[in-house]
Amino acid sequence: MSTVVSFGEIMLRLKSPGSTRLLQEPRLEATFGGGEANVAVSLAILGVPADFVSVLPVNPLGDAVVAELRRHGVNTGHIRRDKGRLGIYFLESGAAQRPSTVLYDRENSAFSQVEPEDFDWQTIFTGASWFHTSGITPALSPNAAKTALHAVKQAKKAGLTVSLDLNFRKNLWNYGKSAPEVMPALVEYTDILVANEEDIQKSLGFSAKVCDGDSGTVVHEGYRDLAGAVLEKFPNLAYVAITLREAQSANSNDWSAVLASRDCFLVSKKYSITDIVDRVGAGDAFSAGLIHAMISKPGDPAHALEFAAAASCLKHSIPGDFNLSRCSEIEALLAGTTSGRIQR
């Protein structure tokens, strides 16, 4: 199986224990995470060769990141080590009607100083068939935006399939450019676009009625119209995948997704997820599941959508950014095993 290359920043994640407020207790749980790294780890666990490309500082934190990625089977041979710092994000998990909150401390990180010429993309893409990145990378700095655009151009030149998760983060676009000014250029070199409705609205400027104002229920026709408008605007796109989260509280969500092309509009099974352990990284788990399924069973978009939705559903039960679900566990959920009974 050929390699999937993922490009982006990985950070130190510092989380308050359980559902406590940030610094309510004198300790924080330290792990690592970041959109594109989460995808690479999930793919490696699913059996897909994954290569993570990034920039890390030359210090013990950078060493620990490399060790953690290698522990999960991710190739780190194309990670650049340079001066600077590791970005940090602080996470406070919500509960009931209190939402989760994220505080970023990633300005001037080693990765944010990246330059287009820092990587030999021709060498990196040798033996690869797929390239994945997200809208987080171009939000970090002008340099990161230039490098992300250069990377997708080089990926297409090398004949790779390109997937892009829009991943709109309003608190990151602080260097004088807005997402709608930057993201369309990346989408023009993309084959598979992954997003939720807010990502599309805030990154690309589209709008559609996707929720009934009276009942709050999802309107699938609105998602069909939204995906159709994106496909019409960007003729290079083969598929648009949109995740649908219906939140009753911080602990209880309904989760599903749609997948649209010019030939089909598919709606996945809806999962009612209660007692959520950690929803961070669920979208990345969806992207990884979609990539895995499209590579392992090409030409079966219905299976790809259902596999991706099931993979991201299981991520809600796992602490940390990474989806540690195995392929057999996702397939069991697809087959209807939803009780959570002990497997002996």
Question: CA-to-CA distance for 120 and 318, rounded, in angstroms?
Answer: 35
CATH of domain 3-333: 3.40.1190.20
β-pairing, 253-260 vs 239-247, is antiparallel
Question: How many other C-beta atoms lie within 10 A of the C-beta of residue 67?
Answer: 11
Question: CA-to-CA distance for 72 and 25, rounded, in angstroms?
Answer: 30
β-pairing, 3-7 vs 50-53, is parallel
- Residues designated catalytic: 284
Burial of residue 122 (number of CB atoms within 10 Å: 0-12, 13-18, 19+): exposed
Percentage, residues of the chain above pLDDT 70: 97
* pTM summary value: 0.94
pLDDT confidence tier of residue 222, bands split at 50, 70 and 90:
confident
pLDDT confidence tier of residue 67, bands split at 50, 70 and 90:
very high
Question: 170-207, pLDDT tens digit by residue?
Answer: 999 999 999 999 999 999 999 999 999 999 999 999 88
Per-residue model confidence (pLDDT) at position 342: 63
Question: CA-to-CA distance for 266 and 297, rounded, in angstroms?
Answer: 17
Per-residue model confidence (pLDDT) at position 211: 65
Q: Which among 111, 113, 106, 69 has a CA at the least distance from the CA of 88?
A: 106
pLDDT confidence tier of residue 208, bands split at 50, 70 and 90:
confident
Question: CA-to-CA distance for 294 and 112, rounded, in angstroms?
Answer: 31
CB 235 within 8 A of CB 229: no
CB 168 within 8 A of CB 179: yes
pLDDT confidence tier of residue 147, bands split at 50, 70 and 90:
very high
